[in-house]
Amino acid sequence: MFDIRIGTIIPAEYAMEMIPTLEPLKFEGYELTCGAYFRDHDIEEYAKRMTDVLGGLPVSALGCYGNTLQDESVQFDIRRLIDNAHLFGCGIVSVFAGALDGVSVPDSMPVFKKVFTELCSRAADRGVRLAIEGCPMGTSWRRGGGQNIGFCPDAWERIFDAVPQDNLGLEWEPCHALMQLMDPVAQLWHWAKKVFHVHGKDGTVAWDVIKERGIGGDWAWGWNRTPGFGDTNWNDVCTILMMNGFEGFIDIEGYHDPVHYDTGEWSAQWRAVNYLKDCRGGREYFDCPVYQGYQAPKSKKH
């Protein structure tokens, strides 16, 4: 089996209908974005039905993206996912770090430590890892606000210092680096061992626009992209991940591309899933046990 599997992200409320329709695209699993869905729906009953629909494919992650620090209902939703992740055979719950209005990222750390120490301890007791997505979500380093202080390496250093539990890591993607004018490949080399889950979303940066007009004017200077259409070399991404022992999912995060959307969404994702499979080492797994070369066997974490 490949170290990296390729899936896609789908909303929990549409998953029952979407998964059978998407079968021809040969996704290898799905992240379910849940949000507040299970406030009004029985999670145990849903998980039973989902097992039948998945047909043996795994749920790679359960996502709950809200203001974890400031909204107690989001904390409650995350606890419910942690407590019930085993019903999906899933070991990752993906979240935003949250943010506080008018409070800088450094000054938010005491609240972050309190909230996430409890969440991580609860998750560890249930064999679950928490992955913080690196999307800025309108958060300012100096003024806070938005929904996610965990948006950049300076914040990650403080986050993992405040809560050093082994089951707290990153849900990483190159797009968030690019839209902050960082090099995602250079960033990944440094942070790969803290990456638990990867979102398959890329970006395009129009450097010609930036050089002429900057980033504060009326001209757009960057776009979110479907993998294979953006600036990132995903061969490099997969290589770095595997060299650092990553075993898990890249789940395509669609619905953002300014060109391939609406009626073009799933054709673009079809191309993306094949592109990412090529980058990870192949579309179909094949082994010849008679001779596998002269290098030592791979050591596996699990």
- What is the DSSP annotation of 3-55? SEEEEEEEEGGGHHHHHHHHGGG--S-EEEE-TTGGGSS-HHHHHHHHHHHHT
> Which fold would CATH assign to domain 4-280?
TIM Barrel (3.20.20)
In tens digits, the chain (302 residues) has pLDDT values of: 899 999 999 999 999 999 999 999 999 999 999 999 999 999 999 999 999 999 999 999 999 999 999 999 999 999 999 999 999 999 999 999 999 999 999 999 999 999 999 999 999 999 999 999 999 999 999 999 999 999 999 999 999 999 999 999 999 999 999 999 999 999 999 999 999 999 999 999 999 999 999 999 999 999 999 999 999 999 999 999 999 999 999 999 999 999 999 999 999 999 999 999 999 999 999 999 999 899 988 876 54
